[in-house]
Structure 1
Amino acid sequence: MRSRCPLRPCRAVAAAVVSLACLFGGVPSAVATSGPATGPSPVALPDALAVFRPAPAHERTPERYLPSPSPDPWYSSPPPLAPATAPGTILDSRPVTIPPHNVRNFGRGWQLLVQSTDSHDRSQQIVSTVIEPATPWTGPGPRPLVSFNATIDSLGLTCMPSHVLPREFNLELPPFLQILADRGYGLVVTDFQGPKAAYAAGRANGRAVLDGIRAARAFVAPGDTGPLFADSRVVQVGYSGGGIATGWAAQLQPVYAPELTGVLVGSSVGGVPADYAELFDTMDGNVASGLYRAAVLGIAREYPELYALLNDTGDVAAHGLRDTCAAANTAAGLIPVPLAMLTTTDPRTDPTVLKVLARNRLGTADPVHGADPREVPTSPIQVWHGDALAPIGPGPGSEQGPGDLFVPERTARRLADEWCAAGADVEYTPVPGEHILAAYTAVGPALDWVDARARGVPFTAGCR
């Protein structure tokens, strides 16, 4: 059997960093020679560095930059798409077991193949993992269902929750899943980036979350007499990339899934990069550039007109990073390459880039870029964020700390204000720490908020 790295991210991190180092340091001359030979014929070597050479123009199709096929046949060999099939329809199901290091108190689990739609109303299929924990529900009413939207932040299909949770120790999850299972909630964890692993493509991500919820509510486990969660309150929670999916699901729900009005009773949105254009100043060309670059490449999978802006270096980067997971994307920031080095134009001012980023901006609807003014959350929202003004001790004057340096708290506060002005009911919760630490300091306040909504506690702290 082929040996494996004990923790899968370590090899991916090394590969991403080495790839970028080679790419921006130049290809060694031994494999880049041209012209007539002047001495003995060189020994033929395997062209191991071919991946660092740009493709000719006719090969630069969108398919070149998509992820490699998944070992999961549900991704690599899906059944024929049926455009008339309603979003949220369950196409297939299979049992799954998740080890306790990823979900403690795991009871029963299944994976569902679900019909969904992408950012442009085209049919696609997604995978959702549904979990009924062994912990009994002791609260009022039926067992609630929580849509946990993981921080996927990846470009490869083997990085998706449906692939990772049953197989590997997941280093990228704060203890949300463990606590949710311990409290007895039903869980649905959707591969919301879809079959193209379209990281940060907010509209497609949000639709996938809603279709995962639809499927989980309709699913009848083998041997059961009815759906597990048909009568359940539904709450969703997600951070960072998962916050993108959570925020967009809340915003799209009234239009895309109106039947969930009154069923989806709350959304806890953490660390969300609501406005990608504003992140040029805080994430581009610094140690956060790996994640920002991956996000832009993920969006391009839904908006392939962006690929036409890649220069030779950008072509190699988009192809070479097409399968990277979150850990590798984060580590790639060790080589802080700005996006302008990958494009033939200035992405900060290019009209194509700005149009796509505006289309994926959370908050006030922008009809100029195709937004629907009805896209306003109908259920309570908690927006939480690493904030320099977050209290870290009792009493006044305890506010200190950097806040989120990469996704500034002003963007989260503005998102809350815009949703409030549009008629949503929103509470802003500042938490201590920067972008990474805030994912852990917020576990208590975020999950307590989720618990209150799941138990039907009236929401009185919002702006409505």
Structure 2
Amino acid sequence: MRSPRPRRPAARVLGAALVSTCALLGVPGAAAQPAPGSGPAGSAALPDPFAALRPAPPEQRTPERYGPSPSSDPWYSAPPAVDPATPRGTILATRRIDIPWFNVRDLGRAHQVLVQSSDSHDRPQQIVSTIIEPGTPWTGPGPRPLVAYNVTIDSLGLECMPSYKLRHEFNLEMPPFLQILADRGYGLVLTDFEGPRAAYAAGRANGRAVLDGIRAARAFAPDPGAPPLFADSRVVQVGYSGGGIATGWAAQMQPVYAPELTGVLQGSSIGGVPADYADLVDTMDGTLASGLYRAAVFGIAREYPELYPLLNDTGDVVAHLMRDACADVNTALGLVTAPLSALTDVDPRRDPTVLRVMAHNRLGRPDPDNGGDPREVPTGPVQVWHGDASVPIGPGPGSSRGPGDVFVPEWTAHRLVDEWCEAGADVEYTPVAGEHVTAAYTAIGPALDWVDARARGVPFTAGCRAVTSRP
């Protein structure tokens, strides 16, 4: 690692602003820590108001410093030792769970499974998936379908994961999608696709986790000797924003990583997906979306630790401070609109390490020079939906039009559709009203109706096309 450089006044201001904001939002580790040896002899140490602002010495700047805090749940902090050759998707352990009514009403049964998966570099790791059998009966054709609902996790801490939040607290990232899916009678699998390092936005690892969660759900039997619940089910997946990253990568990697799901995965509905992080420097970095963009960079670094030596002193402090921040905090920290350039002494737009990592996580046309496989093309139909400025906000011909998604511009979604279409995938683009936040709600109708059609086996007309969304 490079020797730490003296921090500039602006960097100190950024660090202080982030620490103050995090303390107000209740982020672990943001409060002042006692200073060793301070206070009178024999008395309790006095708090050091600047402890959280002090960078670590070079020898302490290891990946562990920036990773999530250990969990009290042994499934996360001490998973069982497993033969690395264990097939991906293998269930390693199961447990029955309760989900409170404010997250899922009319719940039938819910279980969690510990599953063998792999990270961005195909190294084995264990993930957690939650499998829900709703109380609503399935009245459609065939067996009860299975929907992989890929939650907008957007977080860096293990207690931010769906498997934890479903059991313990109301989660704004889940309703109303989750409840509508349960009310329609689908079986559900929600995978902690960020994995044991909470690698937010690390697309390749996220997509593999989703596919392994689907594999596990199709093999899962709740009772000894009983047949699996979803072995013969149609499978559809849906996710928005951070969940769209996982959904898009699962669709793209499926023919190579999980070829047995070809013909089983009936469709992928992907909303607001950041397909290429390099495109978002101008629209997210240094804006109100900068909190999420910073969190995404820190999440990706957990899979690519060669990024850590690029942090300056301020970057070290911020990355350590943010190691357990959930989506709500990461979103609120956009109020500190400092760019990534305040956290590093390199130009993130031109540094070869940064560019290589971004290229390795670019969704769309596979690039063999950056780990892409030309066979990585979605085999099942895909719906891409996005906040689009072409869609009126209100009813009637004279309705005004909004700005569209200013943080993840609609042209990036158009390019993703074009690239998948050119590769031979069947893709439907659905523009919806609103920007990045409101599009998650205006799209509920068209997205879930599309999911319902695929789950019921309604044929999808092959080819690529745009459709007019409902206002």
> Which segment drifts farther, 419-428 or 399-408?
399-408
Answer yes or no: is the 8 Å Cα contact 2:22–2:329 preserved in 1: no
- What is residue 35 of structure 1 aligned with on the other side? none
Distance 1:107 1:181 in 2: 10
Helix, strand or coil for the counterpart of 1:147? strand
The offset of 1:462, in angstroms, is 4.1
Are 2:117 and 1:116 equivalent residues in the alignment? yes
- What is residue 55 of structure 2 aligned with on the other side? 54
- What is residue 373 of structure 1 aligned with on the other side? 374
Answer yes or no: is the 8 Å Cα contact 1:16–1:324 preserved in 2: no
The offset of 1:44, in angstroms, is 5.9
Which aligned pairs between 1:75-86 and structure 2 lie closer than 5 A?
75-86=76-87
Distance 1:54 1:14 in 2: 14
- What is residue 7 of structure 1 aligned with on the other side? none
Distance 1:64 1:329 in 2: 19
Q: Deviations over 1:412-445 (max 9, x none)?
A: 1110111001100000000000100000000000
Distance 1:397 1:299 in 2: 44
Consecutive unaligned residues in structure 1, runs of 5 or more:
1-12, 22-26, 33-42
Distance 1:102 1:20 in 2: 26
Q: Deviations over 1:20-51 (max 9, x none)?
A: 99xxxxx99x989xxxxxxxxxx962335322
Distance 2:229 2:159 in 1: 28
The offset of 1:52, in angstroms, is 1.6
Q: Which amino acid is 2:345 matched to?
A: T
Q: Deviations over 1:145-165 (max 9, x none)?
A: 000000000000000000000
Distance 1:81 1:228 in 2: 25
- What is residue 71 of structure 1 aligned with on the other side? 72
The offset of 1:398, in angstroms, is 4.9
- What is residue 195 of structure 1 aligned with on the other side? 196
Identity, in percent, stands at 75
- What is residue 4 of structure 2 aligned with on the other side? none
- What is residue 440 of structure 1 aligned with on the other side? 441
Distance 1:64 1:148 in 2: 31
RMSD over aligned Cα atoms: 2.3
- What is residue 408 of structure 1 aligned with on the other side? 409
Helix, strand or coil for the counterpart of 1:162? helix
Change (3 A) 1:229 1:382: same
Helix, strand or coil for the counterpart of 1:127? strand
Answer yes or no: is the 8 Å Cα contact 1:16–1:332 preserved in 2: no
Q: Deviations over 1:84-142 (max 9, x none)?
A: 10000000000011112111221101000000000001110000000000000000000
Which aligned pairs between 1:57-206 and structure 2 lie closer than 5 A?
57-206=58-207
Change (3 A) 1:101 1:321: same
Change (3 A) 1:335 1:454: same
Distance 2:173 2:427 in 1: 27
Distance 1:349 1:53 in 2: 28
The offset of 1:15, in angstroms, is 6.7
- What is residue 325 of structure 2 aligned with on the other side? 324
Distance 1:377 1:399 in 2: 36
Helix, strand or coil for the counterpart of 1:108? strand
Distance 1:94 1:394 in 2: 48
Are 2:286 and 1:285 equivalent residues in the alignment? yes
Answer yes or no: is the 8 Å Cα contact 1:392–1:432 preserved in 2: yes
Q: Deviations over 1:263-291 (max 9, x none)?
A: 00000000000010010000001111000
Change (3 A) 1:18 1:142: closer
Q: Deviations over 1:339-396 (max 9, x none)?
A: 0000120101111101100110100011111111111000000000000012445666
The offset of 1:402, in angstroms, is 1.0
The offset of 1:71, in angstroms, is 1.8
Change (3 A) 1:387 1:348: same
Change (3 A) 1:16 1:155: farther
- What is residue 218 of structure 1 aligned with on the other side? 219
Helix, strand or coil for the counterpart of 1:331? helix
Consecutive unaligned residues in structure 2, runs of 5 or more:
1-16, 26-30, 37-43, 466-471
The offset of 1:305, in angstroms, is 0.4
Q: Which amino acid is 1:463 matched to?
A: C
Answer yes or no: is the 8 Å Cα contact 2:130–2:190 preserved in 1: yes
Helix, strand or coil for the counterpart of 1:283? coil
Helix, strand or coil for the counterpart of 1:55? coil
Distance 1:66 1:51 in 2: 16
> Which segment drifts farther, 69-78 or 210-219?
69-78
Distance 2:45 2:101 in 1: 50
Helix, strand or coil for the counterpart of 1:377? coil
Which aligned pairs between 1:382-401 and structure 2 lie closer than 5 A?
382-392=383-393, 398=399, 400-401=401-402
The offset of 1:16, in angstroms, is 7.0
Q: Which amino acid is 2:433 matched to?
A: P
Answer yes or no: is the 8 Å Cα contact 1:309–1:344 preserved in 2: yes
Helix, strand or coil for the counterpart of 2:282? helix
Q: 1:17 aligns with which of 21, 26, 50?
A: 21
Q: Which amino acid is 2:21 matched to?
A: V
Which aligned pairs between 1:357-372 and structure 2 lie closer than 5 A?
357-372=358-373
Q: Which amino acid is 1:17 matched to?
A: T
> Which segment drifts farther, 384-393 or 106-115?
384-393
Distance 2:145 2:400 in 1: 35
> Which segment drifts farther, 129-138 or 390-399?
390-399
Answer yes or no: is the 8 Å Cα contact 2:106–2:135 preserved in 1: yes
Change (3 A) 1:44 1:163: closer
Distance 2:245 2:410 in 1: 15
Answer yes or no: is the 8 Å Cα contact 1:98–1:166 preserved in 2: yes
Answer yes or no: is the 8 Å Cα contact 2:68–2:158 preserved in 1: yes
Q: Which amino acid is 1:51 matched to?
A: A
Answer yes or no: is the 8 Å Cα contact 1:16–1:329 preserved in 2: no
Distance 1:142 1:399 in 2: 44
Answer yes or no: is the 8 Å Cα contact 2:244–2:271 preserved in 1: yes
Q: Under a length normalisation based on structure 1, what TM-score does the superposition of the two structures give?
A: 0.90
